[in-house]
Amino acid sequence: MLNSIPVRFIGLALLLTAAAGCSKDKPIYEHENFDDSGTFSRNYPVTDTASCEAARRALLSQGYIITSSDPKLVSGHKSFQQTGETHLEISFNVVCADDGSAGHHATVFANALQDRYALKKTNNSASLGVGVLGSVSMPIGSSDDSMVKVASETVSSQKFYERFFTLVELFLPADAKKAAHITEKPKADLGVPEPKAAPAALAPTPAAEPTPAPAPA
């Protein structure tokens, strides 16, 4: 009976370790909850066409280049040069859908994609003709610099979308805002998404103090 207790504890520990390993190796799409968090959408007391026009003006006010402007769909992008060797581009997509109610309400769905680029240098060798030996490549050529995409991710920052929808409200029709009692909020620059917070580091476990040996009798 005494020998079976440690075996049970060892089996339980192995089971918990295996379960933790399976959770850690779970694919990224397994973490999609599809819950209605409200981060990517807002409802406005205007038609879908008026909502998308307000979204288009909001993006234009921030220097976005509009690439597609449909009455119910707006797309645009903007570039940011963060450092001499890194580049960021944000692409915005806005879809406006009528709620089908008598009050002409519409829901605006917005999502932004950020692409990161880094500088890549390529050295080109020069070829020299050496008589009967033919051409010989020498490392005295030029170098070509180009930006290559290194990352692409959907923006999930709640504050970033909050600033965008605040801008959209500023460009809604004045009579619609007055009827819906929408208060004016201070205008803020859209800017770039906030970086994700790094996971907190675990505090080191203090070392156990050695137990003094008993004095000899």
- Residues 108-144 have pLDDT tens digits of 999 999 999 998 887 766 555 555 555 555 555 566 6
Q: Which of 102, 118, 198, 185 shows the shortest CA–CA distance to 152?
A: 118
Q: Which amino acid is at 165?
A: F
**pLDDT exceeding 90 applies to what percent of the chain?**
41
pTM of the entire predicted model: 0.66
Q: Both tokens of residue 154? A: 């959907």
Give which of 49, 71, 46, 75 is closest to 60, Cα–Cα. 75
Q: Using one digit for the tens of pLDDT, what is the confidence trace for 187-209? A: 667 877 777 655 555 445 555 56
113: nearest Cα among 141, 69, 149: 149
